[in-house]
Amino acid sequence: MEELISIVQSLDGNTPKEEVQEKISKVDIDGKGSVNFEEFLNVIGMTMKVNLEKSRVLKYLRVVKIFLYG
């Protein structure tokens, strides 16, 4: 489990361990406290979606800044 936490933290900019554990518990379909491959992909997908949303927000803010300040 620690390896998965490290992977998610590296993808998500050092997210706190508790937040990563919360993501894992959301996708732990069988409730065993471990993650199979399908659940692993779900955790990575959640992480990538958050990163994508953050990058979109930053992109929009850059556009607004250019519009306002040239």
Q: What ranges do the domains of the chain cover?
A: 2-69
Q: Please give the distance of CA 55 from its chain centroid, rounded to a whole number.
A: 12
| Mean of pLDDT values over 26-42 | 80
Report in angstroms the alpha-carbon separations of 28 from 34, 36, 63, 69: 7, 8, 39, 47
Amino acid occupying residue 49: K
Place 23 in a pLDDT band, splitting at 50, 70 and 90: confident
Q: Calculate the average pLDDT of the chain.
A: 78
Model confidence pLDDT, tens digit, residues 53-62: 777 777 777 8
Amino acid at 4: L
Looking at this protein, which amino acid is placed at residue 21? Answer: Q
pTM as predicted = 0.54
Of 2, 15, 21, which Cα lies nearest the Cα of 51? 15
